[in-house]
Structure 1
Amino acid sequence: MLDAAVACFWRHGFDATSIRDLIGETGLTAASLYNAFGDKRSLFRLALERYIEGGIGQRLARYQEVSPLEGVRGYLRDVVERSLNDPANKGCMVVNAALEFATRDSEFRPMIAGTFARIEAFFLDCVRRGQHDGSVTRALADEDLARHCLAVLMGVRVLARIRPERAVLDGAVAALLRSLEARPDEGLLISRNDHAEIRPDTP
C-alpha cells in the first residue's frame, strides 16, 4: 500500500495528488486510508521516507564499498540509467519535493536537506579517500569537490525530466569525472578546515 502511495506521489507530486488518486492507487477506501496513515501530509512523509531508504539509501550503500572514483561514477551512472529507463520521466522524488515546496514547508525542508547532506557526505568520503590514494585531484578542497558532485547530480536529475537524452546526461557526468581525476603536476592541498591553500610541491 505504501509503495503504491510512493508511486502516486512520485508521479504527480504532493499538491497535485488527490485523495481520490491515492484511493485509486492503493485500493483503500477513504476511511481505511485515513485510519491507516492519517492525513495526506502524514502519508506523504511516510512515502518520502520509504523512497529515500529504498532508493537513495540502498544506492549509497552499494557504492560505499568500491574504489573512490568508481563510487562516484557508479552512483551517477546508476542515476542516469534509471532516468533514461523511466518512460514517465518522473525524476527523483526528493528533488521533485524540494522544487515543489521545501522552501516554504518547515516540516519537509529538514528531511529533504538531510537527504542532500547524506548524499554530499557520500561524495565527500569518496573524494577524501581518492585524494588519499592519489586517484582524485588535490588541486581543490575536498568539500568543494563533494559539493560539485552534488550540484551535478541535482542538475542531472532536473535535466532528466525535460531532456532525457543520453548524450546530455552522460556528458554532464563525464565532465565531472574528468574534473575529479588527479593530475601528475598537482601541488599539495592543505585541508579547508586548516585554512586551505594550494602550495607548490617542494623537492
Structure 2
Amino acid sequence: MKTEKKGPSGRPRGFDTGEALERAMLVFWEHGYEGASLGRLTSAMGISATSMYAAFGNKEQLFRKALERYTEGPSAYLDQALEEPTARDVAAAILSGAIRTTTTPSRPQGCMGIQGALAAGESAQPARELLVGWRNDGYMRIRERFERAMDEGDLSAASDPVLLARFVTTLAHGIAVQAASGVCRDELEAMAEVALRGWPLV
C-alpha cells in the first residue's frame, strides 16, 4: 500500500488525484456506498483523511466523482453502443458491454451504479438518489436512440421504443446482479443471445 509522503515541513506532498480517485471508485464498486468506510477509502487511496477532504470533498462528493469516473471508464460502453447503426446492434452492444464490465476478473464483479446504494440506511439517501438518476439517465438515452430508430425506419411502427428501452435496461441491470452473484460470463452471454432472439420483441 502506498503511503502519503511528507515534505520537510510535515505537510503532505502532492499525490496523483487520478490514481487516488480510481482506487476510491474500486472501493465503492466493491463495497457500496455504506460499506466504503473512510478508513477503507483513505487506505486504498494512500492518503490521509485531511488530504481526501481537501482534494475531493466529503464522502458523498467523493462518491459523485467516483461515479463520474465509472461512467467515463468502465461504463463508457453505453456511449459506444448508442452509436451502433441499428437498434438491434445497440441492444446487443449494451448487453455485451454490461457483461464485459461486470465480469472482468481484475475488477469487482457487478455494477457500481446498480449495487452502490440499493440496500443502505438513511445516511446513504443522497447516494441512492444519485444512482437512481444515473440509471434513469441511461434508460432515457437508450429510449431516445430507439425512438430515432423508429423515425429512421429501422424499427417498425408497431414497435414500442419505450418498452424496448425498458427491456434492455432491465436486462443489463439483471446481468449486473447475476454477475455479482457469481454467474459466469459464458452463461450471461448465452442468456443475452436468447433474450435478443426475435428482436424487436415489442
- Which TM-score band (shorter chain)? 0.7 to 0.9
| Residue aligning to 2:80 | 62
| Residue aligning to 2:187 | 168
How many residue pairs match? The answer is 182
AA of the residue aligned to 2:81: Y
AA of the residue aligned to 1:165: C
In 2 relative to 1, CA 42–84 (structure 1 residues): closer, same or farther, beyond 3 Å?
closer
| Residue aligning to 1:21 | 40
Tell me the TM-score normalized by structure 2.
Answer: 0.75
- The CA deviation at 1:55 is 3.4
Tell me the secondary structure at the aligned position of residue 35 of structure 2: coil
AA of the residue aligned to 2:39: R
- The CA deviation at 1:123 is 2.3
AA of the residue aligned to 2:144: D
Measure, in 2, the Cα distance between the counterparts of 1:169 and 1:124.
23
> Is contact 2:81–2:90 with CA below 8 Å preserved after alignment?
yes
| Residue aligning to 1:48 | 67
Measure, in 2, the Cα distance between the counterparts of 1:126 and 1:7.
30
AA of the residue aligned to 1:50: R
6-15 or 95-104: which moved more? 95-104
In 2 relative to 1, CA 98–162 (structure 1 residues): closer, same or farther, beyond 3 Å?
same
Cα deviation code 1:56-93 (max 9, x no counterpart): 3x323212222122122112112212333235542110
31-40 or 3-12: which moved more? 31-40
| Residue aligning to 2:113 | 94
Say what the alpha-carbon RMSD is for the aligned residues: 2.7
| Residue aligning to 1:33 | 52
In 2 relative to 1, CA 87–146 (structure 1 residues): closer, same or farther, beyond 3 Å?
same
Identity over aligned pairs, percent: 27
Runs of 5+ unmatched residues, structure 1: 183-188, 190-203
> Is contact 1:136–1:181 with CA below 8 Å preserved after alignment?
yes
Runs of 5+ unmatched residues, structure 2: 1-19
- The CA deviation at 1:46 is 2.0
- The CA deviation at 1:5 is 1.0
- The CA deviation at 1:6 is 0.8
Matched, 1:74 2:74: no
Matched, 1:149 2:180: no
Measure, in 1, the Cα distance between the counterparts of 2:126 and 2:107.
28
- The CA deviation at 1:148 is 0.9
82-91 or 108-117: which moved more? 82-91
| Residue aligning to 2:13 | none
Matched, 1:83 2:97: no
> Is contact 1:8–1:21 with CA below 8 Å preserved after alignment?
yes
Tell me the TM-score normalized by structure 1.
Answer: 0.75
